[in-house]
Structures are given as structure tokens and as C-alpha cells.
Amino acid sequence: MRHGNRVKKLGRTREHRRALLRNLCRSLFIFEKIETTLQKAKATRQVAERLIEFAKRNDLAAKRHIYRYIPDHKLVRVICEDIGPKFTKRNGGYTRIIRKGPRLGDGAEIVILELVEQNDASMIAQRRKLIERRKLAEPKKEKKTKEKKTRETKTKAKEEKKQEKAAKRKAPSRKTKTKKK
């Protein structure tokens, strides 16, 4: 019996379960439709609908609460400005679960979790590009020039040492000169 057990553990630790649900919610809000197992979808549905409730309010406190769960400013803006207003007339039931059937590998029930009111495909593609566009920090040019200079000086020093060794080998010593004569 499940007396007092309110959390579906999904066979994971607390941190892993929390990360999984965050990632599923993030994907749901970006693509508006995800494919997953039934138990994961049910757990994700609870979290996503709660976040949509906050997005409907669209005030600073609500945005901060959503940001605590999905730490991405661009996505929080999309949730509050695009997704939240679509559900202002609804009091719940923002997502639906459509069953697809068992997975071939292990027989797990596969479902599609989607938002009830969706945008067109071009809008979703544009949103995905906006959110997933991340600039990688490029190293400064000064550091590169310093590294190149140090590499160049090291190679020059090695070449000079090689030339000195070669010059010593070519120049005969005094002892060898006296012996030959």
C-alpha cells in the first residue's frame, strides 16, 4: 500500500529525478510535444501544469518561480509571453497524454505528452532556434598572441641550441689537430 507516498520515484535518486523532470518540462515547453514513458509523462504533467499556472499570472514573482525550476531566461520569457496567455480561459488541463503502445525493447508504455493548445510548426522551430542558440566564449586574442610568442621563442631557442651543437661538432678541437699532425 502507498500510505503517505506522494512522490513517484521513477527508480531514481531525488537529484536525478528532479533533473529528469526539469529536462522533460524544458523540452515540453520548447517543442510543445514530447514522447516518453507513461510514468514519466504523468510526473512531468504535474510539474508542467503548475508552471503554466504561474505563467498565466505573468508577474515578476511568477517568473522568478518558473526560473527556479527552469533556469533559462529565454525559455522563461517564452513560457510567460507565449504559452501562458494561451491558457488564460482554462482552469486546468493544459496538457494531454496520448498513448502510443508498448516499446519494443522492454514493453514500457510509450505516450505523447503535449500541450492542449499548440502553435504552428514554424513558430516552434523559430522558438527552438532562439532558445538553443548559445554563444561559446571565445578566448581573447591577446592570450593567443602571447601563447604564439612563447611558442615561437621556445622553437627559436631550440633551433639556436641545435645550431650551436652542430657548430661544435663541425669545429675540431685542439687535441685532435695536434694528433693529426
How many CB atoms are closer than 10 A to CB 67? 15
Phi, psi of 2, deg, nearest 5: -105, 45
Question: Is CATH 3.90.1030.10 the classification given to domain 14-132?
Answer: yes
Q: What are the structural domain ranges in the chain? A: 14-132, 141-180
How far apart (Å, rounded) are the C-alpha atoms in residues 48 and 169? 78
Comparing 79 with 123, which gets the higher pLDDT? 79
- Distance from the first to the final alpha carbon of the chain: 108
pLDDT digits (tens, 9 = 90+) for 137-176: 555 665 555 555 577 777 788 888 888 877 777 766 555 5
- 121 pLDDT higher than 60: yes
pLDDT score at 2: 79
Model confidence at 179, pLDDT cuts 50, 70, 90, reads low
Q: What is the per-residue pLDDT for 149?
A: 59
**Contact present, 131 and 72 (Cβ < 8 Å):** yes
